[in-house]
Amino acid sequence: MDLGIAGRKAIINGGSAGMGKGSARALAKEGVDIWLVARGEERLHAAAAEIARETNARVTPVVADHSTVAGRGRILDACPEPDILVMTCAPPAQTGDYRSVSVDDWNDTFATTLLSPIEMMRATIDGMVERKFGRIVNIATGAAKYPAEIRLLSGAPRAALVNYTVAVSKRVARHNVIINNLLPGMFHTATIHDRMTERAKENGTSYDEEVQKFVRDWRIPAGKFGDPDDLGAFCAMFCSKYASFTVGQSLVIDGGLINSTF
């Protein structure tokens, strides 16, 4: 299916692994020029080369921390007029007792998961409006809709981000600038791999056994974790020409974990 976005320019923040990388790969397959952003230079360059090799797309790596003013400036210097903006990041640390979360923890998390996406949107939306095309997708978390104490640092700021993006989406939709959110559950990402591998070492088990234990404990109906490339396909659809009437939506992709009608 041709999504009608060949030749468009996309910034993918947090694109060197996981769901960001899956989204970059899906967009590259559609002929989109990619500016792939991450902090870790080695993994970023490897991901950019891999995607370019697989898709024959133009993929430009940009080493930058999008949670900082300087980092955002470096990204926008590299691609000042993006048609597509996709934003994600490594998930904040899991939390135990809510009382153990410090002010510094909140400030660090807000900078990456809330303020950075807001500032990137503010910097790019006007240009999209002028060009009469824009697509913005925030890859947030199902915890924004399904609060849990262990996901306080992830869910709370991203719930605020969803609120912000839905409000702004209604302002700019008439200019064919479309903003939506993806709310993923548990996926086979680099962060999850490291976390489950560490648990496996502690428990004398394997990565797959720890994944299945999590699936059982949390009662994920799909019986598995998600594939980042599957989520990337949904991201690409949200970025397509066909998304012009899909405004301010937050699509949960979590294997059925969230028990909700809407």
Are residues 54 and 84 both part of a single domain?
yes
Are residues 196 and 103 both part of a single domain?
no
What is the CATH classification number for the domain harbouring 110? 3.40.50.720
Provide the phi-psi class of 248: left if phi over 0, else alpha when psi is between -120 and 50, else beta: left
Q: How many CA atoms lie within 13 A of 148 on its CB side?
A: 13
Are residues 98 and 198 both part of a single domain?
no
Are residues 38 and 157 both part of a single domain?
yes
Written as tens digits, the pLDDT of the chain (262 aa) is 899 999 999 999 999 999 999 999 999 999 999 999 999 999 999 999 999 999 999 999 999 999 999 999 999 999 999 999 999 987 777 887 888 889 999 999 999 999 999 999 999 999 999 999 999 999 999 989 888 888 888 889 999 999 999 999 999 999 999 999 999 999 999 999 999 999 999 999 999 999 999 999 999 999 999 999 999 999 999 999 999 999 999 999 999 998 877 7
Three-state SS at 253: strand
Range of the domain at 205: 189-225
Are residues 219 and 239 both part of a single domain?
no
Cβ neighbours of 232 (radius 10 Å): 26
Beta strands of the chain (E only): which ranges?
Answer: 9-13, 33-38, 59-63, 84-87, 134-139, 177-184, 250-253
Cβ neighbours of 82 (radius 10 Å): 25
In total, the chain counts a number of residues equal to: 262
Within 8 A by CB and 6+ apart from 203, the residues are 210
207 domain-assigned? yes
Are residues 138 and 206 both part of a single domain?
no
Count of domains forming the chain: 2
d(CA 76, CA 112): 17
